[in-house]
């Protein structure tokens, strides 16, 4: 069975000490031969609910810190970009560029990211029909491919390092719901990563910031593994309650480690059933 992608790390860069502490705790997962591991942290959270919310150290300092993690631990790095001018310099450090959910239709941003050599993880907008994500994938695919593709395919996107990421759909105000059918729909034209932590987020539900129900993370992650995905995205922290961003919907590292093992087993079962 091919390796399962795992993207894990804190929501935002808080300090070098916190980054290194989390990176060290993630080493057992990163060294697992069944896992294609990416260490994730944002240098800037540009879409915070409130102007007063912590955003991160910024582009220059953030990339310096992520480069330090890459050098010390040997991890591949994933971080998100919000503007076209960020793509090239971020790609010098990051092995994968993430397009935030709110920006998944921003053509110039996707094209700029696709012009780099880094892999792409395009998050599905909370407002998007899963079928329409094929056009976001196709923007990246036709930027990278030598010949024009009329449609996106799972294999073509995989070969060009283009992934789509499910993170739930808006359900009324302050709530998200994951329609597991979207995993099947999007996997028809691209590899899919399931974001188990943002899927339990409750946007704007904590008085000027997002809340969440982290207790549901294992259930949704396991359900996605049974339905079938190519990987998982999970923000994690030593002490989520002390995190400077998205603490309520992060998973403690102590819980993440055994969960990943369960997910790998479920993926193996899914693969064996589909090949039977």
Q: What is the mean pLDDT of residues 115-137?
A: 97
pLDDT surpasses 90 at 233: yes
Q: pLDDT for 262-274, tens place per residue?
A: 999 999 998 888 8
Q: What is the pTM of this model?
A: 0.94
Specify the pLDDT at position 134: 98
How would you write the chain as a 3-class SS string? CCCEEEEEECCECCCHHHHHHHHHHCHHHHCCCCEEEEEECECCCCCCCCCCCCCCCCHHHHHHHHHHHHHHHCCEEEEECCCHHHHHHHHCCCCEEEECHHHCCCHHHHHHHHCCCCEEEEECCCCCCHHHHHHHHHHHHHHHCCCCCCCCCHHHHHHCCEEEEECCEECCCCCEECCCHHHHHHHCCCCEEEECCHHHEECCCCCCCCEECHHHHHHHHHHHHHHCCCEEEEEEECCHHHCCCCHHHCEEHHHHHHHHHHHHHHHHHHHHHHHC
Sorting pLDDT into bands at 50, 70 and 90, what band is 16?
very high
Q: Give percent of the chain with pLDDT exceeding 90.
A: 81
pLDDT tens-digit readout, 47-65: 777 777 789 899 999 999 9
Average confidence (pLDDT) over 185-205: 91
Containing structural domain, residue 151: 4-275
Number of domains in the chain: 1
Rounded average pLDDT over 8-22? 97
Mean pLDDT across 187-204:
92
Q: What was the pLDDT predicted at 205? A: 52
What CATH number is associated with residue 258? 3.20.20.70
């Amino acid at each position: 069975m091919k390796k399962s992608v795992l993207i894990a790390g804190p929501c935002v860069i808080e300090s070098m000490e916190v980054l290194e502490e989390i990176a060290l705790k993630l080493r057992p997962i990163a060294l697992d031969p069944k896992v294609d591991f990416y260490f994730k942290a944002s240098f800037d959270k540009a879409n915070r609910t409130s102007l007063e919310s912590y955003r991160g150290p910024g582009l220059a300092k953030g990339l310096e810190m992520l480069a330090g993690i890459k050098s010390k631990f040997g991890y591949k790095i994933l971080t998100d970009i919000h503007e076209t001018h960020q793509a090239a310099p971020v790609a010098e450090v990051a092995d994968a560029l993430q397009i935030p959910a709110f920006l998944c239709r921003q053509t110039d941003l996707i094209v700029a990211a696709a012009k780099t050599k880094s892999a792409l993880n395009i998050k599905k907008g909370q407002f998007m029909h899963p079928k329409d994500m094929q056009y976001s994938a196709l923007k990246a695919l036709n930027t990278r491919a030598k010949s024009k593709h009329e449609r996106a395919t799972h294999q073509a996107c995989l070969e060009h390092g283009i992934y789509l990421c499910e993170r739930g759909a808006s359900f009324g105000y302050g709530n998200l719901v994951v329609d597991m059918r979207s995993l099947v729909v999007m996997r028809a034209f691209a590899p899919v990563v399931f974001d188990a932590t943002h899927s339990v987020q409750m946007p704007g539900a904590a008085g000027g910031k997002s809340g969440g129900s982290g207790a549901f993370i294992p259930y949704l992650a396991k359900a996605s593994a049974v339905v079938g995905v190519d990987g998982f995205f999970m923000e994690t922290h030593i002490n989520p309650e002390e995190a400077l961003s998205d603490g309520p919907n992060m998973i403690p590292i102590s819980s993440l480690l055994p969960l990943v093992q369960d997910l790998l087993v479920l993926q193996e079962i899914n693969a064996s059933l589909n090949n039977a």
